[in-house]
Copies of this chain bind each other. A is one copy, B any other.
Amino acid sequence: MVEDKFLSYNAMDKLMRKAGALRVSDDAKEALAVALERKALDIAQVAKKMAEHAGRRTVTKKDIELALNQ
């Protein structure tokens, strides 16, 4: 697993199997983790701005929800 990786291969494997995949290669787990982390960072950055805009230092569920609708 490369550095700075927060999402485990194990979690990616479970998600893929929940979606019906029988076998999943390691590079597929890696690619899914990278894509999800990019998406998460995008959402998190917007949510952080939303919290700041509301005068808070704590990011809350409402900030995430607003970020998801951007």
Query: Which A positions have Cβ atoms within 8 angstroms of B?
Result: 4, 6-8, 11-12, 14-16, 18-25, 27-28, 30-32, 35-37, 39-41, 43-45, 47-48, 51, 57-61, 63-65, 68
Contact = CB atoms under 8 A, between A and B. Distances in A.
10 contacts: A6-B14, A16-B44, A18-B41, A19-B45, A19-B48, A21-B44, A23-B59, A27-B61, A31-B68, A32-B64
A63 B16 CA distance: 12
A8 B40 CA distance: 13
Given A6-B11, A11-B7, A35 B43 contact: yes
Nearest to A23: B58
